[in-house]
Structure 1
Amino acid sequence: MTPLAETAMLAHGWRRFLLLVVAGAVAGLSVPPLFVLPAVFLAFPVWIWCLDGAERGKGFARLFGPAFAIGFAFGWGYFTVAFHWLGTAFFVDGGFMLVLMPFAILALAALIAAFWGLASAAAHLFWSHGPWRIVTLATFLTIAEWTRGHVLSGFPFDLLGYALTPTAEMMQLASVIGVYGLTFLAALLAMTPALIWPAEERPLTRRLAPFFLALAVIAAQLGYGYNRLAGTPVTAREDVRLRLVQPLVYEHADWGNVDPAAIIDRLIMLTEMRMGPDDAGLAAATHVVWPESALPFYLSQYPEALARIARMLPQGVTLLAGAPRVPFEAAPGTAPFNAILAIDDAGEIVASYDKSHLVPFGEFLPFQEFWANLGIKQFVPGAEGWAAGDPRRRLMQVPGTPPFLALICYEIIFSGDLGDTGAAQFLFNITNDAWFDGSIGPAQHAHHARVRAVEEGMSLVRAANSGVTLATDPLGRITAELPPREMAVVDAAVYQRLEPTLFARYRHWPLLAALALGLLIGLATGRRRRRR
């Protein structure tokens, strides 16, 4: 490793940029569901070594000079690998969109990588050549990750902290510090090998100590998770028994080809399916769940749909379905809501939730006129775009059902920002990941959702159009699941929520305290270097 460390410290120009892009791409292998955890221990030291040899600019160039380019190049490699699956959506329309695909992925990765570039530049302002420099960079990198998860509607996919959640045991630490806390921890641990090489005057034992401490922290994380799983009883609720339907409705991509009657036929057939001689079917369920885009049309276009749903549902059973919704009092041309509709056994809509956190470029186009001139449109059909609902209404209360947090698609990935978690009894997530079939995207999205269950100490119910459909207990363990891209149903239980986790009580305050300490360490070590 010494030759690599010396090469990184002495490299400059395009050679250093290329080295960092490759190192970042290696680090990107740690994202869900790949979870190549050793990759971060190989890659992140390269970032440290390059900063050790980076030139110090003056004035404006000091912030947007070599140190910025170092973090940007590393982040560009990381996010290109982490977000490559988004390109699968371009195959839906094909044609000219396929030509745009590589440029779009590289542009998105570059945009997000700018956050890491700024973190690198800020850390270099306080840089020293002692072991505390890894704390400085980990601190600013975590601030950058939190920022990109919140600024301009936020895009917190593939936060570095997910690398430390490959198993149910390792996930449990999220109940204490959340995924942003895990991000700080993952960055700090991954940078420890940089303190071993190149060889210095310090004894080998002192240089190895931080790395072995990192391994001990991971072992402690596993031990905590094992004890929490073994020592936390979970109890299934008797008042909620779900039948989750995975219908593979691909007409979501083109409403012009929708046959409402045929889609309702398929959904009812699946819902009433018996999976064996001992399966009681709908008679054993209290709720049926149809995922996002299961009804890719307005119910007003097929008024018989509600009547057919009423005939399907036994007395006391409620359907929770994803469908577009336009208020009755809305003026013509009003943008629809992407909604969850609760329909009772009389065919009446008794409650609804409208998606409030829309997907940029998926459900709305920022600067729409500019992109329209380039022939780029939103992926999700809707001539007038989509309207955002009220985020304060995420707590959904359906008659005869305990209150639950309704979350559509990627609303589930926003750690600590789900809504009224105090009153909710479980997390309810419907999604349509069919845009990304054949990629790692659906499994990655599902893993993000599982970590939310651990953070909040609540059971998760997740129905996906083409997968991954699953249910978990409050500890994130999967209790029911359907294979991706399989038309099927599965019955699932909902569990009593646990006592509020430490993360649910204190949210990001412990992390903010750790970041403040990291900033003080950076300030102190930077001043000491300047005095020398």
Structure 2
Amino acid sequence: MLHWMTRPGWPGNLLALLAGAISPLAFAPFDIWPLAVLSIGLLYLVLRELRPAQAALRGWCYGFGTFAAGTSWVYVSIHDYGAASPALASLLTLGFVAGLGLFFALMSAVWARWVRRSEAPLADALAFAALWLLQEVFRGWFLTGFPWLYAGYSQLSGPLAGLAPVGGVWLISFVLALSAALIVNLEALRPHRSRYFAGLALLLAPWLAGLALQDRAWTQPAGKPLTVAAVQGNVEQNMKWDPQQLNAQLALYRDLSFSARQVDLLVWPETAIPVLRDMAQGYIGVMDRFARDRQSALITGVPLRQANDAGELRYYNAIIGIGDSQGTYLKQKLVPFGEYVPLQDMLRGLIAFFDLPMSDFARGPANQSPLLAKGYRIAPFICYEVVYPEFAATLAADSDILLTVSNDAWFGRSIGPLQHLQMAQMRALESGRWMIRATNNGVTVVIDPYGRVQQWLPQFEQGVLYGEATPMQGLTPYLQWRIWPLALLCALLLGWALLAGRMAKTL
């Protein structure tokens, strides 16, 4: 009955496309987490009998469906704020989505060519889960990476959330892929009693462990809660870099802060000061004195220029601390086209999208120190940086509180900001630390160490969010070991599959 799904042809390709298209419904703002298992299970099912080239096409259909449905907000950025025509914005978005689909095409081709073990359903499921994770890791690294819509994020409110402090979003993704493949293969395992029960145990154990570990405290308070005020200016993106709007924006953040309650931490979003730091020294000095008078730490985003190690004067997207805080952090993970233009000698000047304001930032150096505020270490993330699990874990391990500032106006009223928030919540859960998230137009929140939003300021509203964040100490297993134990396991599983497949061909 299911043979039409697994054989070559457009019916199976269409099913793969639909399977990918439903996967974003497992993520924010929909959060129908069982669809993650269903989506991956359908892909696994329709790859069972294909040759490598056929599998590549089917995998691409799945990836295209996933990103067309889940990252269509790219069109908003290109059309609404990149001044591209609807036709050109559609074409660029289509190219972007089609390119991302190639990651699943590559995974599927490798699966069909070297890894698949149809004669051993249990080993086959394990190898598929390992390859799925390898695809996510590769996608988060290749050409600076696009670590969006990792399967594990779907479980932030699901039964597997308790695994995040143990192995991060990676472990949850692995378990989801393994579970999906095991469900498909259970019927094939049924004639072999011992293998069937082994498969059933392997299927149920991670879910039971995830439930058992929910709300487990992996870290401990390092001090009393700090009072927090996060300012959301709600400045429209088309006004953000308008020189005629500069004074109005500076006055906006100043006045909102002057009228705010006295708090320990006052946080402004990414580039809240939309002018180079050395051109706003007078304004920054006023805010520094204000924060010192209140015994507050004020942390804000501001672009700056300084010489790099080669002595070249470069521009950086930065966070600075003033008042009862100190330190400067230079953004390391830059957004292509938004903050730098790949192949800029070829692309700049072609269309307005390749000449966006502030699209010539340089990458900050690695191994920067955390910010200090009220005597505590603050791990800073600027916008896109919070979506990189391993990068974030490095900074989180050397901190007491997490802080991310962003300007999500680029997403418009799409689902992008809520997906971005979900990934920030996962970083808090993985590290067992409070996170303060200050954005230009939402979503501004305070997140507890279990990844739950405690205070929320609605999108597209101007205001100040008040809350508390407790400094935490100790390391979760994930912060201690990162991805390496799981990576070793996946390498062994894939090596085992490759070796077994080669041996089978020689016998």
TM-score, with length taken from structure 1: 0.85
- Contact persistence 1:450–1:476 (CA under 8 A): yes
2:488 equivalent to 1:513: yes
Residue 75 of structure 1 corresponds to which residue in structure 2? 63
Deviation digits for residues 259-315 of structure 1 (CA, Å, limit 9, x no counterpart):
2322122212222335xxxxxx12xx1221110121212355555423542464334
Post-superposition shift, 1:527?
A: 4.1
Specify the code of the residue in structure 1 equivalent to 2:492: L
Deviation digits for residues 358-391 of structure 1 (CA, Å, limit 9, x no counterpart):
11111111011332353153475127x1122112
Deviation digits for residues 158-182 of structure 1 (CA, Å, limit 9, x no counterpart):
1112122225x64331110111122
2:236 equivalent to 1:250: yes
Deviation digits for residues 86-109 of structure 1 (CA, Å, limit 9, x no counterpart):
222134336534323332233222
| Distance verdict in 2 for CA 1:329–1:114, change over 3 Å | closer
Structure 1 regions of 5+ residues with no counterpart? 56-61, 275-280
Residue 224 of structure 1 corresponds to which residue in structure 2? 213
| Distance verdict in 2 for CA 1:101–1:178, change over 3 Å | same
Residue 6 of structure 2 corresponds to which residue in structure 1? 9
Please give the alpha-carbon distance, in whole angstroms, between the structure 1 residues aligned to 2:117 and 2:308: 63
Residue 267 of structure 2 corresponds to which residue in structure 1? 289
| Distance verdict in 2 for CA 1:315–1:44, change over 3 Å | closer
Residue 59 of structure 1 corresponds to which residue in structure 2? none
- Contact persistence 1:28–1:77 (CA under 8 A): no
Spell out the pairing of 1:107-506 with structure 2 (5 A cutoff).
107-124=95-112, 125-129=114-118, 130-131=120-121, 132-167=123-158, 170-195=160-185, 202=191, 210=199, 214=203, 217-226=206-215, 228=216, 235=221, 237-238=223-224, 240-250=226-236, 255-273=241-259, 281-282=261-262, 285-299=263-277, 301=279, 304-310=282-288, 312-313=290-291, 314-327=293-306, 334-344=313-323, 351-372=327-348, 374-378=350-354, 380-382=356-358, 385-397=360-372, 400-418=374-392, 419-506=394-481
Moved more, 351-360 or 297-306: 297-306
Post-superposition shift, 1:139?
A: 1.4
Specify the code of the residue in structure 2 equivalent to 1:453: A
Specify the code of the residue in structure 1 equivalent to 2:3: E
- Contact persistence 1:459–1:474 (CA under 8 A): yes
| Distance verdict in 2 for CA 1:375–1:202, change over 3 Å | same
Please give the alpha-carbon distance, in whole angstroms, between the structure 2 residues aligned to 1:84 and 1:324: 29
Deviation digits for residues 120-170 of structure 1 (CA, Å, limit 9, x no counterpart):
122222323231322222211211111111222122111112122225x64
Superposition RMSD in Å? 3.2
Please give the alpha-carbon distance, in whole angstroms, between the structure 1 residues aligned to 2:473 and 2:450: 9
- Contact persistence 1:394–1:407 (CA under 8 A): no
Identical columns (%): 27
| Secondary structure of 1:393's aligned partner | coil
| Secondary structure of 1:500's aligned partner | coil
- Contact persistence 1:249–1:294 (CA under 8 A): no
2:498 equivalent to 1:523: yes
Please give the alpha-carbon distance, in whole angstroms, between the structure 2 residues aligned to 1:176 and 1:330: 38
Please give the alpha-carbon distance, in whole angstroms, between the structure 2 residues aligned to 1:525 and 1:266: 65
Specify the code of the residue in structure 2 equivalent to 1:193: I
Post-superposition shift, 1:500?
A: 0.9
Post-superposition shift, 1:430?
A: 0.7
- Contact persistence 2:152–2:170 (CA under 8 A): yes
- Contact persistence 1:466–1:487 (CA under 8 A): yes
Specify the code of the residue in structure 1 equivalent to 2:206: V
| Distance verdict in 2 for CA 1:176–1:79, change over 3 Å | same
| Distance verdict in 2 for CA 1:434–1:66, change over 3 Å | same
Please give the alpha-carbon distance, in whole angstroms, between the structure 2 residues aligned to 1:424 and 1:380: 34
Please give the alpha-carbon distance, in whole angstroms, between the structure 2 residues aligned to 1:304 and 1:382: 22
Post-superposition shift, 1:488?
A: 1.2
| Distance verdict in 2 for CA 1:453–1:485, change over 3 Å | same
Post-superposition shift, 1:320?
A: 1.0
Post-superposition shift, 1:48?
A: 2.7
Q: 1:106 aligns with which of 94, 115, 118?
A: 94
